[in-house]
């Protein structure tokens, strides 16, 4: 099998090391340019199964704001991000929303929940 070099920037810490990763198929042969061991872990993960935490908003009916911020409980596979955003776009919550409320359970079958980032109190009748 042929070896191939891939360039990555490690985002584990703010330093942002420029990594050169040598891969053979799915296997990481060598990681260079990293300043610490976490760079190797990052390269392996990023090439095999890149994941990102996703934060966005979801509509809320009757709240002090029309939207509630939400986040994925843990990082989701990068290729599924826009599918997730489409799912979230379909949802409308009803105020009050509580911090930590599960907005979508097991989103896209990933086993990961989408949770509310904060409280959105109901809009009081008087205001």
Exposed, middle or buried: residue 56 (CB in 10 Å: 0-12, 13-18, 19+)?
A: middle
User: Measured between alpha carbons, how far is 39 from 16 in angstroms, rounded to an integer?
Assistant: 9
Residue 45 within binding range of other proteins, rule CB under 8 A: no
* 44 versus 56: smaller Cβ distance to other proteins: 56
* 50 versus 111: smaller Cβ distance to other proteins: 50
User: Measured between alpha carbons, how far is 108 from 127 in angstroms, rounded to an integer?
Assistant: 38
Q: Which long-range contacts (CB under 8 A, 24 or more apart) does 48-53 make?
A: 49/77, 50/77, 50/78, 51/75, 51/76, 51/77, 51/78, 52/76, 52/78, 52/81
Residue 16 within binding range of other proteins, rule CB under 8 A: yes
Q: Which stretch binds other proteins (CB under 8 A): 24-32, 51-59, 106-114?
A: 51-59
Residue 44 within binding range of other proteins, rule CB under 8 A: no
Residue 4 within binding range of other proteins, rule CB under 8 A: no
Residue 89 within binding range of other proteins, rule CB under 8 A: yes
Interacting residues with other proteins between 67 and 86 (CB under 8 A): 67, 69, 71, 78, 81, 85
How large is the C-alpha radius of gyration of the chain? 20
Residues near other proteins, by CB under 8 A: 9, 11, 13-16, 35, 52-59, 64-67, 69, 71, 78, 81, 85, 89-90, 99, 117-119
């Amino acid at each position: 099998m042929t070896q191939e070099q891939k360039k990555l920037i490690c985002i584990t810490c703010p330093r942002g090391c420029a990594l050169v990763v040598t891969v053979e198929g799915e296997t990481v042969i060598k990681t260079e340019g990293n300043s610490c061991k976490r760079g190797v872990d990052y390269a392996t993960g990023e090439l095999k199964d890149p994941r990102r935490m996703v934060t966005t908003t979801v509509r809320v009916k009757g709240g002090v704001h029309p939207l509630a911020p939400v986040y994925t409980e843990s990082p989701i596979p990068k290729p599924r991000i826009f599918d997730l955003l489409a799912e979230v776009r379909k949802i409308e919550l009803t105020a009050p929303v509580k911090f930590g409320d599960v907005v979508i359970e097991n989103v896209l079958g990933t086993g990961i929940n989408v949770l509310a980032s904060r409280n959105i109190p109901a809009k009081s009748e008087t205001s």
